[in-house]
Amino acid sequence: MDHTKINISKLNLYYGRQQILKDINAGIPEKKITVILGPSGCGKTSLLRCMNRLTDLHPQARLTGNILINGKDILNTTDDITSIRKMMGLLAQRPYPLPMNIYNNIAYGLRISGRMNKRMLNKRVEHYLRQVSLWDEVKDRLRDPAVALSIGQQQRLCLARGLAVDPQIILADEPTSALDPLSSQAIEEKFNELKENYSIVIVTHILRQARRLADHVIFMYMGEVIEQGPADAFFENPKLEKTKLYLRGMFY
Amino acid sequence: MKKFLKAEEIFFRVLMFLSTTLIGTVLFLIVFSVIKNGLPYLSWEMISEVPSGGYYFGKEGGILNAIVGTVYLSLGSTLLAFFVGLPVALMMNVHLVRYQRFVNGIRLILDLLWGIPSIVYGAFGFTLMVYLGIRASLLAGIITVTIFIIPIMIRAMDEALKTAPRGLLEAALSLGSTRSEISYRVFFKQCIPGMVTAILLSFGRAAGDVASVLFTAGFTDAIPTSINQPAATLPLAIFFQLSSPISEVRHRAYAAAVVLFGIILVISLLTRIISGKYKKNRINF
Ligand SMILES: Nc1ncnc2c1ncn2[C@@H]1O[C@H](COP(=O)(O)OP(=O)(O)O)[C@@H](O)[C@H]1O
Ligand SMILES: [Mg+2]
For residue B180, give the CATH number of its domain. 1.10.3720.10
Q: For B221-235, what is the mean pLDDT?
A: 89
| Confidence at residue B267, expressed as pLDDT on a 0 to 100 scale | 86
Is residue B94 included in any domain, yes or no? yes
Number of separate domains in chain A: 1
Query: Which atom belonging to ligand 1 lies closest to the Cα atom of A44?
Result: 22
Q: How far is CA A149 from the centre of its chain?
A: 22
Is residue B158 included in any domain, yes or no? yes
Is residue A21 included in any domain, yes or no? no
Q: For A198-223, what is the mean pLDDT?
A: 94
Give how far A91 is from chain B: nearest CA, Å: 8
pLDDT-wise least confident of A51-60, A198-207, B42-51, B89-98: B42-51
pLDDT band, residue B219 (cuts 50/70/90): confident
Is residue A244 included in any domain, yes or no? no
d(C-alpha A133, C-alpha A152), whole Å: 12
Give the ligand whose atoms come closest to the C-alpha of residue A48.
Answer: 1
| Confidence at residue B279, expressed as pLDDT on a 0 to 100 scale | 72
Dihedral, CA atoms, B176, B179, B184, B189, nearest 10 degrees?
70
Q: Is the pLDDT of residue A169 over 80?
A: yes
Q: For B6-19, what is the mean pLDDT?
A: 92
Per the structure, the complete domain to which residue B230 belongs is given by 59-279
| Confidence at residue B208, expressed as pLDDT on a 0 to 100 scale | 86
Number of separate domains in chain B: 1
Residue whose CA lies nearest to ligand 1 atom number 16 = A43
Cβ pair A141, A102 in contact under 8 A = yes
pLDDT-wise least confident of A15-24, A37-46, B56-65, B249-258: B56-65
pLDDT band, residue B61 (cuts 50/70/90): confident
d(C-alpha A138, C-alpha A133), whole Å: 10
| Confidence at residue A231, expressed as pLDDT on a 0 to 100 scale | 94
| Confidence at residue A2, expressed as pLDDT on a 0 to 100 scale | 61
Mean pLDDT across chain A, nearest whole number?
Answer: 93
Q: Which residue among B98, B100, B283 sits closest to A96, beta carbon to beta carbon?
A: B283
Contact between chains at A92 and B171 (C-beta distance less than 8 A): yes
Q: What Cα–Cα distance (Å) separates residue B67 from each residue in A128, B220, B262?
A: 56, 12, 11
**Element (DSSP H or E) covering residue A29:** strand A18-29
Q: Is the pLDDT of residue B186 over 90?
A: yes
Give how far B100 is from chain A: nearest CA, Å: 7
| Confidence at residue A216, expressed as pLDDT on a 0 to 100 scale | 96
Is residue B40 included in any domain, yes or no? no
Contact between chains at A85 and B176 (C-beta distance less than 8 A): yes
pLDDT in tens, A178-205: 999 999 999 999 999 999 999 999 999 8
Is residue B49 included in any domain, yes or no? no
pLDDT band, residue B6 (cuts 50/70/90): confident
Q: Does the beta carbon of B163 lie under 8 angstroms from any beta carbon of chain A? A: no
Is residue A171 included in any domain, yes or no? no
**In percent, how much of chain B has pLDDT > 90?**
51
Q: Count of CB contacts below 8 A, A vs B? A: 85
Q: Is the pLDDT of residue A39 over 80?
A: yes
Q: How many CA atoms lie within 13 A of B71 on its CB side?
A: 15
pLDDT band, residue A160 (cuts 50/70/90): very high
Q: How far is CA A125 from the centre of its chain?
A: 21
Q: How far is CA B147 from the centre of its chain?
A: 12
Is residue B8 included in any domain, yes or no? no
| Confidence at residue A241, expressed as pLDDT on a 0 to 100 scale | 86
Q: Which of B99, B168, B174, B284 to mutate to test the interface with A (most CBs of A within 10 A)?
A: B174
Is residue B48 included in any domain, yes or no? no
Is residue B16 included in any domain, yes or no? no
Q: Which of B93, B281, B282, B284 to mutate to test the interface with A (most CBs of A within 10 A)?
A: B281
Interface of B with A in 72-101 (CB under 8 A): 97-101
pLDDT band, residue B49 (cuts 50/70/90): confident
**Element (DSSP H or E) covering residue A14:** strand A4-15
pLDDT band, residue B46 (cuts 50/70/90): confident
Residue whose CA lies nearest to ligand 1 atom number 3 = A15
Is residue A140 included in any domain, yes or no? yes
Q: DSSP state, A174?
A: S
| Confidence at residue A251, expressed as pLDDT on a 0 to 100 scale | 67
pLDDT band, residue A252 (cuts 50/70/90): low
Q: DSSP state, B183?
A: I
Q: Would you say the ipTM is above 0.90?
A: yes
Is residue B45 included in any domain, yes or no? no
pLDDT-wise least confident of A57-71, A110-124, B10-24: A110-124
| Confidence at residue B173, expressed as pLDDT on a 0 to 100 scale | 95
Question: Exposed, middle or buried by CB within 10 Å (0-12, 13-18, 19+), for B19?
Answer: exposed
Per the structure, the complete domain to which residue A101 belongs is given by 95-166
Q: Please report which residue ranges of chain A form alpha helices under DSSP H.
A: 44-51, 81-86, 102-112, 118-131, 135-138, 151-163, 181-194, 207-213, 231-236, 241-247
Residues of A in contact with B97 (CB under 8 A): 57
d(C-alpha A218, C-alpha A205), whole Å: 12
Question: C-alpha angle with apex A86: A83 to A92, nearest 5 degrees?
Answer: 140
